[in-house]
Amino acid sequence: MNAKILRWALVLVVSLCMLPLVIAQDAQPTATIDDTIEIDLSETGESIENAAGQAVEATENIAEATLSAVDQLLIRLSTVPNNTVLQVVLVIIGAVLLVFGWRIYDEIILLAGAFIGAAIGLNLVGDGGVVLEVAAFLIGGLLGLIFAIFFYFIAMFFIGAYIGLILTVALFNLLGVAVSSLVLLIGAIVGGLLILALSTQLMIILSAIIGAQMIVLGLGLTGEWLLILAIVGMVIQFIAIRAMNIDLRRRPRRNYRRMLLRR
């Protein structure tokens, strides 16, 4: 019970930390009303107002920088690699995740953490040459893996937020409608909360989406195949679990943190 309370408390803290981005991004000046009571501000009040304005402006800049970083990250994740070996590896790993994701429930969290960490590392270095990009990929992947091991539920929330972000962007691109940062943030928070509430089912969905994304990148397929392959993978996994009469909710989670510290 205490673990559940701590888990949701961490989610609440993260959500509250992200809330200023929403407030700043969509902040609009309120309309003037004729019968509004005017109050003379003292010097202290004016200082507070100026400080608040500076805080809002700074938060807007942070929100814009964050949205720009997300856009660059999504572009990198949707780029087909030129290396044939890497394409083959992506297809093989993607096929395993697409069909057998339910068998490696805990490892998916670690893999997703490493995958996202590597993508963020590549995004930070930009076009800095092959050596720098490989180093950023490995270091980012290692840091993402370590974070997923030692902060399992926080990592789950951010992985869910990441998936929610991707699905939100994909949906609006499919509809041909521009997406605002507020909608992106809402999609990310909803994805993070859902993956904590329905971890088993969403782990299957997560593995199918990641596997489909890898196959699409490896084969250079169009974006529509991501949705098709992901749905096929989800159906296969849910049918397999139902046919084998397996209840993943009662299966104990492998504690990689304890295993790592013992060594």
> Domains in the chain: how many in total?
1
Opening angle at CA 114, ends 112 and 119, nearest 5: 95
Asked, for residue 109, whether it belongs to a domain, the answer is yes
Range of the domain at 250: 83-263
**For the segment 55-95, what is each residue's pLDDT rounded down to a tens digit?**
556 545 554 555 555 555 555 555 666 667 778 888 898 89
- The confidence score (pLDDT) of residue 19 equals 42
> Can you count the helices (H) and strands (E) in the chain?
10, 0
Q: For residue 117, tell me if it sits in a domain.
A: yes
- The reported pTM is 0.46
Q: What is the mean pLDDT of residues 230-239?
A: 91
Residue of 100, 108, 109 lying closest to 239 (CA atoms): 100
Over 50: is that where the pLDDT of 32 sits?
no
The residue whose two tokens read 């304005």 is: 53
Instruction: Give residue-wise pLDDT tens across range 141-196.
Output: 889 888 888 887 787 788 778 778 877 887 887 777 777 778 888 888 888 888 77
Q: Which are the contacts of 199, defined by CB distance < 8 A and separation ≥ 6?
A: 156
CA proximity to 206, closest of 77, 89, 105: 105
Is the pLDDT at 137 greater than 80? The verdict is yes
Q: Is residue 89 part of a domain?
A: yes
**pLDDT tops 50 at residue 13:** no
Is 158 inside any structural domain? yes
Q: What is the pLDDT of residue 17?
A: 45
pLDDT digits (tens, 9 = 90+) for 196-223: 777 677 678 778 888 888 888 888 887 7
User: What is the pLDDT, as a whole number, of residue 236?
Assistant: 92
Average pLDDT of the segment spanning 239-243: 86
129 within some domain: yes
Give domain status of residue 22, yes or no.
no
pLDDT at residue 96 tops 80: yes
In a domain, 257, yes or no: yes
In a domain, 115, yes or no: yes
